[in-house]
Amino acid sequence: MNSIPSGPRPKHLTIGRIGLYCFILVCAIFFLMPLYVMIITSLKDMDEIRAANILNLPKELSFYSWPKAWSQACTGFVCEGLKPGFFNSVKITVPSVIVSVGLSAINGYALAFWRFRGAYFFFGLCLFGAFIPYQVMVYPLLKIEDALGIYSTLPGIILVHTIFGMPILTLIFRNFYASLPIDLFKAARIDGGNFVKIFIYVIIPMSTPITIVAVILQVTGIWNDFLLGLVFAGRDNQPMTVQLNNIVQVDYGVAEYNVDMSATILTSLVPLFVYFISGRWFVRGIAAGAIKG
């Protein structure tokens, strides 16, 4: 993908180009508005929120909602804020990303270089899995995990993320490995490399770019997951998204919109951070995930 436009930049502004810039600015405002509202709401106190325009900048900066969202906001009868959810999400995301990316890399490698009869049939089945609605699989999978004794535990949710991450990750690893020169693999075979040795000494050192893409995809995907965390993580490991929803949707008490918005920002910090530092890699991940044979 060539991301730099070719040809010279137009020299002078015509009416058309001014219109173009106006339109693009309007779009930008639409896209930025929720982020702006989120941030300024979190910096107001409740009196000002009730009295003033949602779009106005805060008259006085109030930071009290931030620590409250982090460590005191209530979900049901527990008032510990989002902090436990944050650490649960870390505990879920880190091993899930490592296991799913590692396993899918091996899958992709085996499919690209060590094809055996029937391998692509199962790969097809696996890809098909990417499109099955979670609702079809949630309950039976819950029964399977229950039988294995890992339902509502950390290993249980890690397994679930590994399963549901596998189709798309295996696909992008396979496509990446299939684009490597086959002679390299043949040379390694002649030198006596076996399945494990070639993977460790030849393939892994070349896998950095695709691994970065896969890690970005998985970190944002798993961090942002709600449904699987809700069903499989269990009460003690509830991820941040589930806690956020519980904090905001409490039925009783006075709604504190500034705390809600602080909590919302806190929850999206990790994926936004990943997005902003990874930039082009994130885009590449999207393009890679968008199944292209």
Site for other proteins in 195-224 (CB under 8 A): 195-196, 220, 223-224
* Phi, psi of 31, rounded to the nearest 5 degrees: -75, -30
Q: Residue 86 and residue 199: Cα distance in Å, rounded?
A: 35
CB of 76 to other proteins, least distance (A): 16
Using the rule CB under 8 A, give the single segment among 66-74, 147-155, 200-208, 281-289 that binds other proteins. 281-289
- For position 149 contacting other proteins by CB under 8 A, the verdict is no
In 10 A of CB 33, how many CB atoms? 12
Site for other proteins in 168-187 (CB under 8 A): 170
Largest CA distance in the chain: 77
Site for other proteins in 59-78 (CB under 8 A): none
Site for other proteins in 76-115 (CB under 8 A): 103, 106-107, 109-111, 114-115
Contacts 24+ apart (CB under 8 A), 175-179: 175/108, 175/288, 175/292, 176/108, 176/207, 176/209, 176/210, 177/108, 177/109, 177/111, 177/112, 177/113, 177/203, 178/112
- For position 293 contacting other proteins by CB under 8 A, the verdict is yes
Site for other proteins in 219-258 (CB under 8 A): 220, 223-227, 231, 241, 244-245, 248-249, 257
Closest CA to 153 of 70, 220, 91, 225: 91
For other proteins, give the closer residue by CB, 81 or 225. Answer: 225
- For position 6 contacting other proteins by CB under 8 A, the verdict is yes
In 238-283, which ranges are E strands? Answer: none
CB of 64 to other proteins, least distance (A): 18
